[in-house]
Every structure is written in C-alpha cells, then in structure tokens.
Amino acid sequence: MIQRVLFILIISTNIVFASSITVCTDCKYRNIKDALSASQQNDTIFVQKGIYREYNILVDKSVTIIGVNRPVIDGENKGEIIKIIADGVTLDGLFIKNVGRSYTQDNAAIRVTESSSFVLQNLILENLFFGIYIEKSHHGKILNNEIKGNAVEEYNSGNGIQLWYSESIEIKNNSISKVRDGIYLEFATNCTISNNVSFKNIRYGLHFMFSNNDTYQNNTFDNNGAGVAVMFSKEILMRKNKFINNWGAASYGLLLKEINDSEITENLFQRNTIGINIEGSNRVTYQGNDFISNGWAVKSRGACYTNRFLNNNFVQNSFDLSYNSKLNDNLFENNYWSEYTGYDLDKDGTGDIPYRPVKLFTYITNRTPEAIIMLRSLFIDIINFSEKVSPIFTPENLEDINPRMKMIRHD
Amino acid sequence: MINITNLHKNFGVNQVLNGIDLSIKKGETVAILGPNGSGKTTLIKSILGMVRPNSGEIYIAEKNVKNKWDYRRHIDYLPQIANFPGNLKVKELIGMIKDIRGNDNTREDRFIEIFGLKPFLQKKLSHLSGGTKQKVNLVLTFMFDSDMIILDEPTSGLDPVSLISLKKLIASEKEKGKTILITSHIMSFVEEVCDKLVFILDGKIYFNDTIQKLKETANEENFEKAIAHLLTRAYV
Amino acid sequence: MFKILKYSFYDLIRSRWSYVYLLFYLLLGFALLFLNENISKAVITMMNVITILVPLIGTIFGVMYFYNSKEFTELLLALPIPRSSIFLGQYFGVAISLSLSLIIGLGVPFLCYGLFQSDSMVDFLLLLSTGTMLTFIFTAIAFLIGLSNENKIKGFGYAILFWLFMAVIYDGIFLISLIIFEEYPLDNLSLFATLFNPIDLSRVLILLKLDIAALLGYTGAVFQKFFGNISGLFVSFFTLLLWIIVPLFLMKRKAGKKDF
C-alpha cells in the first residue's frame, strides 16, 4: 500500500515538472528518434497519426510515449524497432509493424532490457519476429495489446511475449496469435498472466521453463500447436483457464514436465488430443476441472507420485486416463466419469461400485503403441469389457471409489 | 436324337451311374424307370448338364454337350420339385422364364386354359398349393414347344382331371414327332403314354426296349407284374 | 446375367427383409443424428455399425438367399443360360439390393439433417462406399460358402464363423502378434495386417479421415502416409476389390464343376 502511494506520488510530482513533445509529419519533430533525443527525463511524447519509418529506436530516459489516433511505426524489416533501457517507460497506443527477421539476433518489436516499472499497453504489433521481449527486468505491466504474427514454421519464427530472467511482471488482457509461443517464460518468477487469449500459435499458447511461483488464470488457449507447456518449474497456480482445440498427432492441452507442488483448478480442457500430458510431476492437485471430448483426458507417462484428482468432470473422452505403469500412487476421488455404468442404490450421489478409469486397451497401447491402429475394433471393445469385469493387467488400486453419479457444476 | 456312351458318375463313394449306354431316336417317347436311388434323376440331370459326369459322352443332335449350355434351347424340362421365388406372381414368373429364355414365341395361354390356372395368375407363388404349383410347372415346361421334352415325375400332386389333360397333352406332343423322356412311379401312366422303356438299376441299364417286348420277355400281360418280374430277375 | 440380376433384385426388393433392413438403417440414422446433433460424431458411431453389422448382414443374407433359392436355381440351371450367369446374377441381385438399403437407409436421415451444408460430406461418402464394398465382399464370400456346402446348417455355420474371424478373431491374433514382436518395428506389419482384413481396412480408412485420427499418433502418421496419398488409396481400394473378385472367381469355378 505504502509502495503504491509512493508510486502515485512520484508520478504526480513528475507530471508537474515534465513537459510534453509532439511528433507528427509536419511538426518540428517528424520522427520519434528526434523527439527522444530532445526530450528530458519524465517527458511525455505524443505521436500523432501517421506512418513513421524507423527502427532501432533507443529509449534511454524514463519517458511516456503515447500514440494519438494510432500512429504506425514501420520498421521496414530492417531490425529491432524499440529498445527500452530505462526505468519507468510507458508505451501506449502505437501500431508497430515489420520487425526485421534474423537468424542470429532475436529482433523484437519492443525490447525491455534491465529496466523496471515499465508499462506496455494498447499496442498493436504485426508482422513481427519477436513481439515483446523482456530481459532481466522487473515490475512491469503488459496490458491490452494485440500481437499478430504470421509464423509458418517453428525454426524461423519468434515468440509473442517473452520473459527472460524477469520478475513480477503482469501480463493481462492481451491477444496473441500466429507466433511461435504465444507467451514464453524462462527464469521468470512471481509473474501473473491473466485474461489473455492465445490462439493459432505454431508451438505453445504459453510456455514455462524454469519459472517458479507464477500464476496464470482466466486465459484461453485455443487451437495452438499445443496449449500450454509447463516444464521444470514449481509452485505454479493454474486456474480457470480454457485449453481448447489443441488437436493434432502430437498435441495436448497442457504438458506438465517435472512440475512439483502446483495446483490446477477449475480449468476447462476440451477437444484436445491429450487434455493433460504429465511426465514426472509430483504433489500436484487437480481439482474441479472439466475434461470434455478429448482423445485422452489425462495421459500419465510415469514417475508421477502423490498427485490428487478431485471433483473433476470427465465427459466423453475417448480415453479418460492412460497410465504406463502397474503402480499407482495417485488419488482419484469424487470425480464424475461419463463412462461410469455403476449404480447408486443408497442415493448418496456417488456410485456404489468403484470406477476404473484405465482401460485395457490404453494399457496395451502404452506397451505397444502400434496397437492403437485397432482403435474402435470390436475385439478391443470385448477385451475392454472383460478387463473391466475382472482386472488383470491394469493397476488394481487405480480406481475412483466414490465416482459421482451426476456432472459437477462449477460456479 | 440322344446318344449316351459309357456314362459314369459317382458322388463320393456312391457310384450312381455305372456305364450307361443309351440311344434315343427322334420321335420316341421313353420312360426311365427304376427303384429309388437307381440313378434316374442323375441320368436326366446329366443330359441337361446339371450334373457333370465323371466320364462318358452325351451327344444331343450329334453335338457333344460337355460344358455347353446353348443346346438347352431345344429342351423343355419339368423338374421334380418346383419351388419358385415366393414373391413373384404366377404371371410374372411365366413372363420371367420367357424373358430369360429369350423366347417370346410361346403358347402359355392354351395351357393356362387347360389347367385352369386363370384365377391364379395374379397370386403370389408362395400362396399356391402343391398341385397348383405343379400345374404352373407344367405350363412353364410345355409353353416353349421345343423338340425335346424331359419330364421328371410329371404326375405328382395332380388331380385326376388335370392328369387326363396331361396325358392328352403328351399324346398330342407325340403326334408332332417330339422326343419325350419321362420318369414316373405311376405304372399305368407309363404304360399308357410311353412306347419304350429304359430300366435302370444300380447305375446300369437292365432293360431297354418297347413295353410290348417287356411283356413278352416276362411272359406277363400285366405291365406292373412284368416290371416286378424284371426286378426279381435283376436281383437274382 | 443381367436378366437373372434383374429378377433376383426385384424379388428381393419386394421381400420383407429388405424393408426391415432399410427401416433399421433409417431408424439408426435418425436416432444417431437426433441424439448427437453433430454429423461428424454420428459418422463415428455409424462407422462402428458399418464395419461390424454390414458384413454380418451381408453374410447372413447372402447365405440365406443362396439356400432359399436353391430350387429356383435348379429351375434356372435347366434353362439355356450359362451357369456362371445364374450365380453372378443372383449374387449381384443380393449385393445391390443390400447396398441400396444401406445407402438409402443412411442417406435419407443424413440428407434430412443437412448433409450438404456440412463438411462431413466426404467422410459420409467414404462411409457409404466402404459400406457398399463390405456388402459386396461378404455377400460374395457367403455365396462361395453356400456353393461349397450342400448342408444348409454347415454353410450357415461356416459363414458366421468367417464373419467372426474377420470381425473379432483376426484382430485378436493381430494384437497378440503385435505384443509378441513388440521389440521390432511394427508399422509395416500392422499396415500389412490391416490391408488383408477388409473390416480392419475399412475401419482404418474411415478413422484416418475423421479428426479422431489424431489419436493414432505416430502409427497413425505412418498409416496416413500410406493411405493418405493417391497410390495408397488406390492400393486399399484395389485390395477391397480383390476381396470381391477372388471369391467371385472361385465361385464361378466352383459353380462350373458342381452337380445339382
């Protein structure tokens, strides 16, 4: 609180002393670079409507650059467009396009280096390599931006928003599409990612690497190469996100790899080849999620211990759960499984016989992946049924002893 | 008209025809007789090409019939049990057989009249009685007016009136100079209709001559007794 | 042959069973669409029906028709027509009437639910064409079995056994051999095994066209590579065609030698 008051104080005092500069096609300053070199600390630069063909714009003072009626900064594919190396910089209302593509440099539309307290908002970025690249910076905000790439292949495209060795960044209300990774975090901690829409990206909608204590919520990841990949990280909170339409031979809604002590709550996984793909993740709680119409709702590829699946809905997935070991150390309880065929004689809302989410066929395809070609063959239906009646191959204790009779409503 | 030499046929270990030599001249009416399982039907079916003989030759009008089908144009055949597609009406069946044989020059109307089939023409075959079916069968056989007629048990299921009509019909066909082959169990019918007799037993021909000759040989005026004599002689 | 075909066909389309079959598909089609409201999902369910039920019905119907029309066949045999055209005509009569029941029975509900506005059109056409192929294949096998067995009960038994083998047992053997040889690369083996069972082949052809194909993963990609291009599709349809032609050829040979 005190911090915030101080912050407001600082800003308001700044306004008192600061002056403003206007850039337009027939003003004194006809391009942004000139305006910047003429500006003082804490100045505000108003960029009027027009097309400014500039690149390598270096912002080395804490200034506020505001686009009026959405001016266009056209980098003409020559290199990086704006680089911020000062604290307290704000960019607002600009249309930035045509970042130079390079195989040796990660050119970005906006790069923030070793700075803090920046605000990047209401920007439109198009035809880019990297969009917003934050490195070794902290306490910044990226709000209400629209990032639209035209990536086709992974090797020659960049990410929409990238954080590298950064801390306490807020990414909110952005729309990111057609880049490599919508949002990429590497060594980024205490970040909050919320209400973003990340879609049609070549690789991941959101990608975590070695980033701890982050939260992402209320985001939509739609139709990406794969929805979200969270790798080698811990204490990540994932809430109320939508992972949808990540459909393809190697696709999934959410990939967890070496993730510990995290929480996955009230998310929606719909129409993904694999809802959640888990490898080597421990002590993760899955609660109140909806898994609807996925190929595999949850695919566990081993080394997963003490995870808990509680109060989730598993509805019309081809396979609810795939498991590649005979051992089970995970808990399934109080979930709703649309394939459950048991009964509830005592009318307590949970079935009287346990549900066994692993089918024999899933077990076989884990052993012999080629057997998947027998999907939907009559023989498979028969052996699945017999395994259901008397389990021999699938882990004996892998069962939900209190399966719900009705779908759980999450509000 | 029909020339058969050294015809052999076995079904598995069962030797049904065991060296049949038979010659039937044009214009003859021949009865093929023999106890059950003697090979009568197999012989007829061999002539029609429905059974493939193991060895021996069959010539009809001087042509070998092996693996041929076209010669059947000149044969009208009445099969023993006639079971027709149940969904067809009588009229449709007649039309269909005509269509399949590709012969429109037929005289079915006369036979429909003779056998009193008119009320049944629009009925489905599955709704007909056995006797009526046999009448339909007869119409289908006779309507084509071919040179050769083969009748396998033509009398089965027929009422006395129709039987008389059938006899008259055969007599009139005979007069036209047709070659007719008949198997039957009704001896009086055979005696009345046929000139010659072929008696088959165990796949061999035991007697092949006129009925008159049979009676002379057996020294019996009664036809049935003469046949019985033939049988006892054969088994001695 | 065409005359026999014509009459067999007329005979069949007036038979009660053709209507039962047609009605079954009509009900099934409407029920599936009514319950799913989603054509591509209905196509998947329909695929299960087509790859199992169509062969079964083709087998039973074929063998039933063959034995039931035995006397009529004998009548035809004495007529001046070649033997092969009698059986081929009857065969095509049965196969075509069954296929028509299938196409009309499934087609009408799908048309009613606006097939032409949907992008499942291609899937649906593939479904109908493989269904038709399967009908022709299993009817041909049924006729061949009928011709080879005088005994009706035996013939019926063999026909059902053949269906059971193709629909279930084959896959069991296939699966067991996959597990036994799991250390070896199995893609080509499974490709091969699939190619030689018309039921499996049809199932995979349809699966690959549906978005459920994504579940097939790497193996699916191998299959997609094979079946996805023109030559693969050609090979698979040629194999299906072979499943019709070979039994028909055997049938013709058998018919030529047989005594009636």
Question: In a structure prediction context, what are the per-residue pLDDT tens digits for chain A, which is 411 residues long?
Answer: 566 655 555 555 555 467 889 998 888 899 999 999 999 999 999 999 999 999 999 999 999 999 999 999 999 998 899 999 999 999 999 999 999 888 788 899 999 999 999 999 999 999 989 999 999 999 999 999 999 998 888 878 899 999 999 999 999 999 999 999 999 999 999 999 999 999 999 999 999 999 999 999 999 999 998 999 999 999 999 999 999 998 887 789 999 999 999 999 999 999 899 999 999 888 999 999 999 989 899 998 877 888 999 999 999 888 899 877 767 788 999 999 988 888 999 889 899 989 988 888 888 888 888 888 888 888 988 888 888 877 777 777 888 999 999 998 876
Q: For residues A67 and A35, what is the distance between their CA atoms, to the nearest angstrom?
A: 13
Confidence tier at C124 by pLDDT (50, 70, 90): confident
Task: Tell me the three state secondary structure of residue C146.
Answer: helix
> Is the CB of residue B139 less than 8 Å from the CB of residue B108?
yes
Chain position carrying tokens 């009514």: C34
Beta-carbon contacts of A74 under 8 Å, excluding residues fewer than 6 positions away, are A51, A52, A53, A54, A97, A98
Residues from chain C contacting residue B69 (CB–CB below 8 Å): 80-83
Q: Describe the crossing of helices C198-209 and C230-257 by its angle, rounded to 10 degrees.
A: 160
C206-224 CB burial, b ≥16 within 10 A, e <16 = bbbbbebbbbbbebbbbbb
Domain ranges of chain A: 18-202, 225-358+395-411
**Residue B48 contacts C where some CB pair is shorter than 8 Å:** yes
Q: For residues B163 and B185, what is the distance between their CA atoms, to the nearest angstrom?
A: 14
Among B84, B85, B100, select the one facing C79 at the smallest CB separation. Answer: B100
Residues from chain C contacting residue A376 (CB–CB below 8 Å): 44, 47-48, 203, 207
In this structure, chain C runs to a length of 260
DSSP for C201-215?
Answer: HHHHHHHHHSGGGGG
Q: For residues A47 and A53, what is the distance between their CA atoms, to the nearest angstrom?
A: 13
The encoded tokens of residue B228 equal 């019985």
What's the whole-number mean pLDDT along residues C85-94?
92
- pLDDT confidence of residue C76: 85
Give, in order, the Cα–Cα distances in Å from B156 to each of B42, B163, B172, B180, C80: 19, 9, 21, 18, 25
Rounded to the nearest angstrom, the gap between the alpha carbon of residue B213 and the centroid of all alpha carbons in its chain is 22
Q: Describe the crossing of helices C217-228 and C230-257 by its angle, rounded to 10 degrees.
A: 70
- Helix (H) / strand (E) element for B16: namely strand B14-24
The encoded tokens of residue B153 equal 């048990």
**Residue C115 contacts B where some CB pair is shorter than 8 Å:** no
Residues from chain B contacting residue C87 (CB–CB below 8 Å): none
Q: Mind listing the pLDDT tens digit for each residue in B79-135?
A: 887 777 777 789 988 888 888 888 777 888 888 988 889 999 999 888 888 889 899
CB within 8 Å: C77 and B48: yes
Task: Tell me the three state secondary structure of residue B85.
Answer: coil
Residue of C nearest to B137 (CA): C75
Looking at CA atoms only, how far is residue B161 from chain C in angstroms?
Answer: 26
Which of A319, A365, A377, A378 to mutate to probe the C interface, most C CBs <10 Å? A377
The encoded tokens of residue C204 equal 């995979």
- Helix (H) / strand (E) element for A34: namely helix A32-38
Residues from chain B contacting residue C80 (CB–CB below 8 Å): 69-73, 101
- pLDDT confidence of residue A117: 94
Give, in order, the Cα–Cα distances in Å from B62 to each of A203, B23, B24, B47, B176: 85, 12, 12, 13, 21
> Is the CB of residue B193 less than 8 Å from the CB of residue B173?
no
**Residue B97 contacts C where some CB pair is shorter than 8 Å:** yes
Beta-carbon count within 10 A of B164 CB = 11
Query: A293-299, long-range: CB within 8 Å, 24+ apart, which pairs?
Result: A293/A317, A294/A253, A294/A269, A294/A270, A294/A318, A295/A319, A295/C212, A295/C214, A295/C215, A296/A320, A296/A321, A296/A322, A296/A362, A296/C215, A297/A269, A297/A321, A298/A322, A299/A252, A299/A274, A299/A275
Residues from chain B contacting residue C72 (CB–CB below 8 Å): 83-85
Chains C and B touch (3+ CB pairs under 8 A): yes
Chain A residues with CB within 8 Å of chain C CB: 247-251, 273, 295-296, 318, 364, 367-380, 382
User: Beta-strand (E) ranges in C163-222?
Assistant: none
Chain A: touching chains (3 or more CB pairs < 8 Å): C
Nearest to A275 by CA among A311, A302, A313: A313
User: Residue A402 phi/psi, 5° resolution?
Assistant: -125, 65
> Is the CB of residue C32 less than 8 Å from the CB of residue C43?
no
Residues from chain C contacting residue B52 (CB–CB below 8 Å): 257-259
> Is the CB of residue A197 less than 8 Å from the CB of residue A219?
yes
> Is the CB of residue A233 less than 8 Å from the CB of residue A259?
yes
Give, in order, the Cα–Cα distances in Å from C258 to each of C72, C74, C83, C110: 16, 12, 10, 45
Residue of A nearest to C48 (CA): A376
Residues from chain A contacting residue C175 (CB–CB below 8 Å): 364, 371, 374, 379
The domain that holds B96 is classified in CATH as 3.40.50.300
> Is the CB of residue A300 less than 8 Å from the CB of residue A276?
no
**Residue C102 contacts B where some CB pair is shorter than 8 Å:** no
- pLDDT confidence of residue A2: 61
Residues from chain C contacting residue B9 (CB–CB below 8 Å): 259
Beta-carbon contacts of A192 under 8 Å, excluding residues fewer than 6 positions away, are A169, A170, A171, A172, A214, A215, A216
DSSP for C44-111?
Answer: HHHHHHHHHHHHHHHHHHHHHHHHHTHHHHHHHHTSSS-HHHHHHHHHHHHHHHHHHHHHHHHHHHHH
CB within 8 Å: C223 and A296: no
**Residue C172 contacts A where some CB pair is shorter than 8 Å:** yes
Q: For residues B130 and B139, what is the distance between their CA atoms, to the nearest angstrom?
A: 14
How are beta strands A44-47 and A20-23 bridged, if at all?
A: parallel
Number of structural domains, chain B?
Answer: 1
Among C179, C207, C216, select the one facing A368 at the smallest CB separation. Answer: C179
R_g (Cα) of chain B, nearest Å: 18
Query: Domain range for residue B56?
Result: 2-235
- pLDDT confidence of residue A11: 54
Tell me which CATH homologous superfamily contains domain A18-202. Answer: Single-stranded right-handed beta-helix, Pectin lyase-like (2.160.20.10)
Give, in order, the Cα–Cα distances in Å from A8 to each of A15, A43, A388: 11, 16, 64
Task: Tell me the three state secondary structure of residue A278.
Answer: strand
Tell me the Ramachandran region of residue A200: left when phi exceeds 0, alpha when psi lies from -120 to 50, beta otherwise: left
User: Residue B79 phi/psi, 5° resolution?
Assistant: -75, 160
**Lowest-confidence region among A102-111, C58-67, C108-117, C226-235:** C108-117
pLDDT over 70, % of chain B: 98
* pTM, 2 dp: 0.79
Task: Tell me the three state secondary structure of residue C157.
Answer: helix
Looking at CA atoms only, how far is residue C47 from chain B in angstroms?
Answer: 33
Q: For residues A273 and A226, what is the distance between their CA atoms, to the nearest angstrom?
A: 9
